[in-house]
Structure 1
Amino acid sequence: MTRTIKLRYTETAGCIFIDKIAGLNTHTPEHGQRGCVEIYEEVLDRKLFVVHRLDKATSGALCFATSSEIAAEVSRLFEQHLVKKRYLFLTDKPAGALEFTYQSHIEKEKNKFVSTKDKDPNSKTTFKWIKALGRFQLWEAIPHTGKPHQIRLHAEAKGIPILGDSEHGGSHFYRLCLHSHSLEFTLRGEHVHFETDLPVWAKDGELNEHEEDLVLGEALQRRERLFKFSELKDESLRLAHRELDTYRIDQYGEYLWVYWYKEEDPSVPDLLRFEKLSKKLKKKVLVRKMLNRGDDPNAELLWTIGQTQTSWIAKENGVKYELRSDTGLSPGLFLDQRENRLWVSEHAQDRRVLNLFSYTSGFSVVSAMAGAQEVCTVDVSSNFLDWSKRNFTLNGLDPEHEKYEFWNSDCILFLKGTVRRKRKFGLIVCDPPSFGRSKNGVFSISKNFDELLINAMYCLEKNGLLLFCTNYEKWNSGDLHLRLEKLKREFSFKILPAPSQGMDFELPDQEPLMKSIILRKN
């Protein structure tokens, strides 16, 4: 299984350049949270060195060095003001002059950076007006020094505070409209220039749109900056996650699947928004309303755009899956499990794998493709098991092979029977629903967690791995750890971190909707 959704970066002259997204710290803000440099160190599997920083809310060009020697040289260039930094920002305030330079003394007072004219200046910024964008003004800022919050403080002092910068006098907006557009310097005789794409809010025509359109445009641009998703036309990834409360959008190959979270049906502006998105991305669109528990889970789609079919094929990291628009509230593949499926594919070889609450069996498929010794798939729905076999066949696997088992059973009853038979597995995947009904009764993760995990641990061989996942909204990651600690009275195991969520979902400092953890039995 080959990773096809990869983070973008440019490497030149011993430096790594990235187009940082807003909302991401340059480096880890506290233990347990990854910053930008830690994320790219993991991707590149090597040490990176921070040579300059961007505020969390600022997007754009950011540079890391790949060695301590290069870091020392580039840091010296920044300190000697030999790096040309060009920023763009937006304001809703008029300015008296179209070009000027501002100097001040910046220092920290009581956990806040302040700018004053009463002391010798240690900061200098040149400002140049570019153009009007509707009722807003687009400016260029070139900082000649590198003090924290320098551009923001100087813009505020000159009466053109940056849009979205509430800390420094800016009007309310959906984000801080400050972007590091380019970096330029000469290193060891080589001219280095890195320039980013224009942010959505700096483009002609975009600011005439409704704010929801801007936020959606920003969400798409975030995936473009991270993955260049426009080149991943056949892949599956999330295009809008929690940027908007009203809906989430997934790409499944040639289709966009919209989860609708409003009480009412889509209004005319919503429908026009989806039509525009369909046209822009050249995708068919399916809009599914997310109903309250107890409502009919097979309610009709609210809306479709294009010549849609009830089933189609899409890929995730090269693996094929059948998606359907007429079976439940999901098309058949939960994309927040993408990194977990990659992890399973890396650990399934030569192991006996048990996939509980299998749904359409993404975990079973990647286990079989990775060379698992056997794959046992369990789900209470015979329809989902038939669908699972279809996914096996799509990937050149014979679901009737003796290595593969499909059990139409309640998962807890299956585990209890497996315990009696003393059957063991080397890898167990347990991704239960928060709530579910079957002929055997009602399943609730909050009530059945201990029973489920205890029986699963009895079925796990020594040094075996158990991946547990839950979307239960009333638990956070800490709650999950506390519940697992109680099980240590009965079992000896080590808690390992699960793979980090893909960057098309939550950012590192956001509590994930989907919580995952790995147990290794001692």
Structure 2
Amino acid sequence: MEQNQILTGALQMFENRLQKLKKEREKWAKREGIQAYRVYEEDIPQVPVILDRYLDDYVLYDKSSLRFQTEEEKEKRFETISDIVRSVFQLSKAQLFLKTRKKQKGKEQYEKLDEDKKALTVTEHSARYLVNLSDYLDTGLFLDHRLTRSWFSKAANSKRVLNLFCYTGSFSVSAALGGASQVTSIDLSKTYLDWAKQNFNLNGIKTEDHSFICTDILQWLVDESRNEARQRYDLIFLDPPTFSNSKKMRQEWDIQAQHRNILLSLLGKFLSPGGEIWFSTNFRKFEMLIPEEEWLSRGYTCLDRSLESIPKDFRNTKIHKLFQIKAI
């Protein structure tokens, strides 16, 4: 009985919090010129959900565990929370997309959740991005990198840019809009590369002026490093997965174990003199294994920009880490 009272009180607090955030976020987003942003992020411990807005649609993520509840209780609580969200924002069922992560193994975690393909275009400052709210756990646009995309766009002017593990190409679009002379986007997934091309088209960027390569990135780096005529880049963006054992890759990938090798190989073999690498990861326990003195001895600085890169609408300041590596 006491537990039910605590939950009832927490849900009332959640509803009140949403009412407040609704007004605040709408005004802020309008001033910022953005149509996709975070509304609520586990503000109340007893209501561990995340709510994101995309134009007039919303995505609700269930972040609760099964530690103190059954699967049935978990589903019922999420349903109650969903009803509160619909009520506060006056949404139809079709306007709220529910995401819940279940225990999955191997390739199951990357499979589609649905086939509805609820796709729409959102504006972020001067850029436009295609998002899919229904079919995957992620929507195709990482909102926590909004500030980083803006910075990257400014840094890309007149630069040759390489975007590794490019996903749907949002950073490639940012670079091209910022005046990059040429952008090379590489990913293992043809689906994501096609998505990236759609994002280029949405922004009036000619895809034929840039390169899109579908391949195993780790193997590509090995092969290209042996090519004496290989391209060098002024600006490299690297945001790899935390871990991957995909059968399409010749070797397993682990961000903590292998970031040192990939960063140093990029420095020596792919970065042009005076160039920069922007390296990001969402692995919360990540530790940079290249010490400051080693960066300096190689003629570089490594600036940790993690905290300043977290947008205002995010409570979680550990959602990603960002390092800017540049020649001295």
**TM-score with structure 2 setting the length:** 0.81
| Larger Rg belongs to | 1
> 1:463 aligned to 271, 274, 278, which one?
274
Task: Identify the residue that residue 284 of structure 2 maps to in structure 1.
Answer: 473
Q: How does 1:37-436 map to 2 (within 5 A)?
A: 210-215=9-14, 217-218=16-17, 221-222=20-21, 224-225=23-24, 228-229=27-28, 231=30, 235-244=35-44, 246-262=48-64, 263=66, 264-267=74-77, 268-279=79-90, 284-292=95-103, 294=105, 295-298=108-111, 300=113, 310-401=118-209, 404-421=210-227, 422-436=230-244
For residue 424 of structure 1, report the CA deviation from its aligned partner.
Answer: 1.3
For residue 216 of structure 1, report the CA deviation from its aligned partner.
Answer: 5.6
| 2:168–2:193 CA contact under 8 A, matched in 1 | yes
- Distance in 2 (CA, whole Å) between partners of 1:331 and 1:242 is 19
| 1:216–1:240 CA contact under 8 A, matched in 2 | no
The structure that is strand-richer by fraction is 1
Percent of matched pairs sharing the same residue: 24
| 2:113–2:137 CA contact under 8 A, matched in 1 | no
Q: 1:340 to 1:384 in 2, by over 3 A?
A: same
For residue 326 of structure 1, report the CA deviation from its aligned partner.
Answer: 4.5
| 2:162–2:185 CA contact under 8 A, matched in 1 | yes
Query: For 2:298, what is the secondary structure of its paired residue?
Result: coil
Q: 1:271 to 1:237 in 2, by over 3 A?
A: closer
Q: 1:394 to 1:226 in 2, by over 3 A?
A: closer
Please list every run of 5 or more consecutive structure 2 residues that lacks an aligned counterpart in the other structure. Answer: 1-5, 67-73
**C-alpha deviations, 1:2-31, integer Å up to 9, x for none?**
xxxxxxxxxxxxxxxxxxxxxxxxxxxxxx
**C-alpha deviations, 1:297-345, integer Å up to 9, x for none?**
33536xxxxxx86211112123111111354310100000001000001
The structure that is helix-richer by fraction is 2
Aligned length: 300
- Distance in 2 (CA, whole Å) between partners of 1:345 and 1:326 is 29
| 2:15–2:88 CA contact under 8 A, matched in 1 | no
Structure with greater contact order relative to length (CA < 8 Å, sep ≥ 6): 2
Query: For 2:75, what is the secondary structure of its paired residue?
Result: coil
- Distance in 2 (CA, whole Å) between partners of 1:387 and 1:503 is 27
| 1:345–1:367 CA contact under 8 A, matched in 2 | yes
**TM-score with structure 1 setting the length:** 0.52
For residue 497 of structure 1, report the CA deviation from its aligned partner.
Answer: 4.2
Q: Over aligned residue pairs, what C-alpha RMSD do you find?
A: 2.9
> 2:264 aligned to 454, 474, 499, which one?
454
Q: 1:409 to 1:282 in 2, by over 3 A?
A: same
For residue 223 of structure 1, report the CA deviation from its aligned partner.
Answer: 7.1
For residue 502 of structure 1, report the CA deviation from its aligned partner.
Answer: 0.9
Letter in 2 for 1:488: W
